[in-house]
């Protein structure tokens, strides 16, 4: 008889009572029967705990004072028993067959399986694209080599990852210094323990709304400053991990990640006085961005060309003209229709 692993779906919640029931219901409605659902409420002050109480013994509930994401992850993981661990943000939800499809490709030696998420609005309506954006396939196989070559890999937000308990035990408990970035603490380290498998279709939904910590609904300088500080912490973690395992990293690794450079040039343009990297200059970031696109990215030439123009546009044009390009990159739902039409036209002509 084929081994049927237990999957623990750990829902971490803080003041998301308007979304919480959908997240819990999606976990309880999985077509794969060997699941447990753990809900960690991290000190909510809204109606979340009343909602959790309604589920009674259908879930395992943990009610704790507010300690941020790492504390919620630590509590949930300590209580869990699953071979496969999914940390589901309480403003997201899984499709009914998500765990079944994960188990179908699961192997005990994998470090994780990741999968796309359909991007939805506050009401759960699809915005017409998935996370991650674009047509690039999710990274798979020896992803640690990609990390050491490019400083990042094509992956998904927290809710799009099914992680191997055996390897997580080497990383938990998550230190408090990563209390707001526990997901990336795992994302940047787990691939060093085993191969990664990818399912390039959406198995859940990633919700964009005004109170989401990372998803972009509006363009603000403080948000991109946070992105940059977050990226700096991730790069430091990656460097530390590589050294601990005896790997060498390229001297220019920090300039190879296109996503990191996008955030930095936007942060610099929106508020140069508060930009976290004091040595950054627009021309340097334009050069690094274009170099990253043409030397290290997996984009086709059309995307490399468009994003090269984007770096020049955002880096050199007056801020009122640069801001729309920033918004269109990070919030595709606000892109004018003619841009999508032009991209599709070029794709058709170059086939």
> Tell me: the pLDDT tens digits for 216-256?
455 688 889 999 998 999 999 999 999 999 999 999 998 99
Nearest-angstrom CA–CA distance, 181 and 85 = 17
List pLDDT tens digits, range 322-337.
Answer: 988 888 776 655 555 5
The answer to whether 298 and 292 have CB atoms below 8 angstroms apart is: no
Q: Provide the H-helix boundaries in the chain.
A: 17-28, 48-54, 68-79, 98-105, 143-150, 165-168, 182-187, 221-244, 258-270, 282-295, 301-316, 319-330, 337-349
Residue 337 three-state SS: helix
Specify the domain boundaries for CATH 3.90.550.10 within the chain: 7-207
Query: Going by C-beta distance under 8 Å and a sequence separation of 6 or more, which residues neighbour residue 223?
Result: 216
Cα–Cα distance between 80 and 60 in angstroms, integer? 9
Contact 12, 41 (CB under 8 A): no
Structure tokens at 74: 């630590």
For every one of its 351 residues, what pLDDT tens digit does the chain have, with 9 covering 90 and above? Answer: 567 999 999 999 999 999 999 999 999 999 999 999 999 999 999 999 999 999 999 999 999 999 899 999 999 999 999 999 999 999 999 999 999 999 999 999 999 999 999 999 888 899 888 888 877 899 999 999 999 999 999 999 999 999 999 999 999 999 999 998 899 999 999 999 999 999 999 999 999 886 554 444 556 888 899 999 989 999 999 999 999 999 999 999 989 998 899 999 999 999 999 999 999 999 999 999 999 999 998 888 888 998 999 999 999 999 999 988 888 776 655 555 555 555 555 445 444
Crossing angle (nearest 10°) for helices 258-270 and 221-244: 140
User: What residues pair up with 13 in beta bridges, in sequence order?
Assistant: 41
Beta-carbon count within 10 A of 349 CB: 8
Q: Cis omega before residue 132 (within 30°)?
A: yes
Q: What angle do CA 90, 111, 24 make, to 5 degrees?
A: 20
Instruction: From residue 93, give the alpha-carbon distance in Å to each of 104, 207, 215, 315.
Output: 20, 8, 15, 37
Fold of 7-207: Spore Coat Polysaccharide Biosynthesis Protein SpsA; Chain A (3.90.550)
Phi, psi of 60 (to 5 degrees): -100, 120
Task: Identify the helix (H) or strand (E) that includes residue 40.
Answer: strand 35-42
């Amino acid at each position: 008889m084929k081994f049927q692993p237990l999957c623990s779906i750990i829902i971490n919640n803080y003041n998301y009572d308007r979304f919480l029931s959908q997240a819990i219901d999606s976990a309880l409605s999985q077509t794969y029967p060997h699941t447990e659902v753990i809900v960690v409420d991290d000190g909510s002050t809204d109606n979340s705990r009343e909602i959790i109480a309604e589920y009674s013994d259908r879930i395992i509930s943990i009610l704790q004072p507010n300690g941020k994401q790492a504390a919620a992850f630590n509590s949930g993981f300590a209580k869990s028993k699953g071979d496969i661990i999914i940390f589901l943000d309480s403003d997201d939800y899984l499709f009914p067959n998500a765990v079944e499809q994960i188990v179908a490709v699961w192997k005990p030696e994998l470090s994780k399986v990741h999968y796309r998420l359909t991007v939805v609005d506050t009401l759960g309506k699809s915005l017409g694209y998935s996370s991650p954006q674009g047509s690039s396939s999710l990274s798979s196989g020896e992803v640690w080599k990609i990390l050491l070559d490019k400083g990042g890999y094509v992956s998904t937000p927290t809710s799009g990852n099914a992680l191997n308990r055996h390897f997580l035990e080497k990383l938990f408990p998550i230190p408090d210094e990563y209390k707001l970035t526990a997901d990336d603490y795992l994302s940047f380290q787990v691939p060093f323990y085993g191969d990664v498998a990818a399912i390039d279709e959406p198995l859940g939904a990633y919700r964009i709304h005004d109170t989401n910590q990372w998803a972009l609904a509006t363009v603000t300088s403080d948000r991109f400053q946070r992105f940059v500080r977050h990226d700096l912490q991730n790069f430091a973690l990656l460097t530390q991990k590589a050294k601990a395992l005896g790997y060498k990293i390229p001297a220019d690794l920090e300039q190879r990640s296109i996503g990191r450079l996008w955030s930095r040039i936007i942060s610099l343009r929106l508020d140069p006085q508060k930009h976290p990297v004091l040595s950054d200059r627009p021309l340097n970031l334009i050069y690094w961005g274009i170099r990253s696109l043409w030397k290290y990215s997996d984009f086709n030439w059309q995307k490399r060309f468009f994003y090269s123009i984007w770096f020049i546009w955002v880096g050199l044009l007056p801020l009122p003209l640069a801001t729309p390009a920033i918004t269109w990159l990070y919030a595709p739902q606000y892109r004018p229709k003619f841009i999508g039409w032009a991209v599709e036209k070029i794709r058709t002509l170059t086939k």
